[in-house]
Structure 1
Amino acid sequence: MSDGEMLIIKVPGSSANLGPGFDSIGLALDVYLTLEVEMAKEWEVVPLSEELNVFPKDETNYILQIAKETAEKYNRRLPACRMKVKSDIPLARGLGSSAAAIVAGIELANSLCKLHLTKQEKLEWASKIEGHPDNVGASLLGGLVVGCQLEDEVSVESFHHLEMDIVAVIPREELLTKNSRGVLPKTFSYENAVQAGAIGNVMIAALLNGHYMQVGKMMKQDRYHHPYRKKIVPHLQVIEELASDFGAFGVALSGAGPTVVCLTEKGAGIDLAKSLADRFPEMECRSLNIEQAGSSVYFTRQICKNI
């Protein structure tokens, strides 16, 4: 990157699991983490969104830590830059804010250090950092992703033809992933595991075939995490019971929560969001779309005007 150039990195947020697709299914959403990066003598992070003021503004910033680790992995040194950061992905709400930061850090190192990483290389490294490929896969590749991670090998399939609206019901309070995972069982019986896997398989098949009522039925039958997390996210049960009356065909906890996503037919999202907002005035209800493109990186030349 030369003087006068600015690097733009835009990474979408995501919703993971969709019920029975625990730690293996991700859906990219049109909420974004955006970096504007220009050369500087030392690192400086400038938050452009109010929520981001809580994070470090120097080299200890999480995005920069990921970028430095990525550069070091390939024996490169990350050059100093001034990085403006803005985001409309709610923090600690289950909409993939940390996964977006990981992908942004990898894209930053890849661009500044000219690593020429493939999508697969980025995916494998991001999944190793995150621990599973659902959110990072969706942020990187866009659309719907179905993946698994076996030691260092990551296998992901992505789909970009789904047509639906998503309404995110977002509580004001945060829920940390470690707390949400703490209520899950440490072991699963063989019989329960087989049934849970079968439910997830049918949901994916129904999604790809556009059989949305079947999708909703399978989402409601999740055995991996909904039964346990409803204890700490009580509004999931209430939304699950009401949303179908307002036009949703499926309801699920988004990632580790506390956000709940409601799936509805294309074009129906705004009306569904209004209906849910009337019922849950203490929460934010956003009508969202699937982000099909995944992360994007490009350079632009700054225009300086003398006044």
Structure 2
Amino acid sequence: MTISVPATSANLGPGFDTLGLAVDLRNRVEFHPSKFFSVSIKGEGENNPRLKGNNLFISIFNEHYSRLTKNKQNFKFTFYNQIPMSRGLGSSSAVIVSAIASAHEAAGIRVSKRRILNHALVYESHPDNITPAVMGGFNAATIEKNKVFSQKKHLPDYLKAVVVIPNKQMNTSKSRTVLPKSYSKENAVYNLSHTALTVAAFFNEDWEMLKLAAQDRFHQKARMKTLPELFSVQKVAYESGALMSTLSGSGSTFFSLVYDDDSAMIANRMKQKFPDFGVKVLDFDNDGLIIER
């Protein structure tokens, strides 16, 4: 069987640990019972031998499969990875979600997406990436009593994502160390109001509001200072007509939401201005986790 999970862009400016959306860049895993355990990786991470011996997917899969079945069974896994690692596009969330879903499928147990999402919360303590990874689309999410509560908005085809992917990784845990230890009441209210406005703009499809709504005082500037070129990326995106342009997760990728008609022009300008960075035009993904039996 095959399990696939999309890349995600989280925070979206002011929605720290709360907002996220899915883009059509997928990690896929194929697996079946086998006499011998084996792992094959194609695409992102294929040249990293440590991933075969210290694989987060395998660890989570085995934990859930043994809990569900009380049995030991070898599987052959083949991973087809498209999501860049440690670039702020939800690669770890994709691994977590796909491992949990795969273990349940291998055990012959059908569970809802909501159940998988809540299982994922054990390994990812904030819901901004795991929610769109499971559900697809744009999501606002919160945690209450160890469960994720969220609302999803389907994203229309006339919008595209332009992602600029620097050649430098950013570790989420390390990037959190550069953030302030506390925030003023003024900045907290600023981010609350802008987060609320961002959610309203998405659900009302008022895309022109997003440039104002997506401003942030919690995390972006502190993280962007570790790779100052990102300030120029954002400036060029807005000058070229991006509807919103925000740090993707903790970085280093920068995400811009654009009209389809402008996507090629904006991407080409990014390629000209930042020749050392990768640039992709992506559709939005409204499906999230897909299980093909």
Query: Which bracket does the TM-score occupy, shorter chain normalised?
Result: over 0.9
Alignment of 1:192-207 (within 5 A): 192-207=187-202
Alignment of 1:210-229 (within 5 A): 210-219=205-214, 221-229=215-223
Of 20, 25, 29, the residue aligned with 1:31 is 25
Of 235, 245, 250, the residue aligned with 2:229 is 235
Rounded to whole Å, the distance in 2 between the matches of 1:176 and 1:166 is 23
Given that 1:140 and 1:294 are in contact with CA atoms closer than 8 Å, whether structure 2 keeps it comes out as yes
3-state DSSP of counterpart to 2:51? coil
3-state DSSP of counterpart to 2:129? helix
Percent identity of paired positions between Structure 1 and Structure 2: 31
Alignment of 1:103-118 (within 5 A): 103-118=97-112
Cα deviation for residue 41 of structure 1 reads 1.4
Of 151, 156, 159, the residue aligned with 1:157 is 151
Matched, 1:179 2:174: yes
Report the CA distance shift for 1:76/1:247 in structure 2 as closer, same or farther (over 3 A): farther
Rounded to whole Å, the distance in 2 between the matches of 1:47 and 1:123 is 25
1:168-188 deviation digits (Å, cap 9, x = unpaired)? 000011111112111111222
Report the CA distance shift for 1:195/1:133 in structure 2 as closer, same or farther (over 3 A): same
Question: TM-score when scaled to structure 1?
Answer: 0.90
Rounded to whole Å, the distance in 1 between the matches of 2:95 and 2:272 is 33
Rounded to whole Å, the distance in 2 between the matches of 1:184 and 1:72 is 39
Question: What one-letter code is carried by the residue in structure 2 that aligns with 1:9?
Answer: I
Given that 1:14 and 1:135 are in contact with CA atoms closer than 8 Å, whether structure 2 keeps it comes out as yes
Per the alignment, residue 303 of structure 1 pairs with none
Given that 2:69 and 2:107 are in contact with CA atoms closer than 8 Å, whether structure 1 keeps it comes out as no
Q: Which runs of 5+ in 1 are unaligned?
A: 1-6, 300-307
Alignment of 1:95-174 (within 5 A): 95-163=89-157, 164-174=159-169
Cα deviation for residue 38 of structure 1 reads 2.0
Matched, 1:264 2:258: yes
Rounded to whole Å, the distance in 1 between the matches of 2:196 and 2:69 is 41
Q: Which runs of 5+ in 2 are unaligned?
A: none
Rounded to whole Å, the distance in 1 between the matches of 2:37 and 2:234 is 46
Q: Between Structure 1 and Structure 2, how many residues are aligned?
A: 291
3-state DSSP of counterpart to 1:130? coil
Q: CA RMSD in A?
A: 1.6
Alignment of 1:78-97 (within 5 A): 79-97=73-91
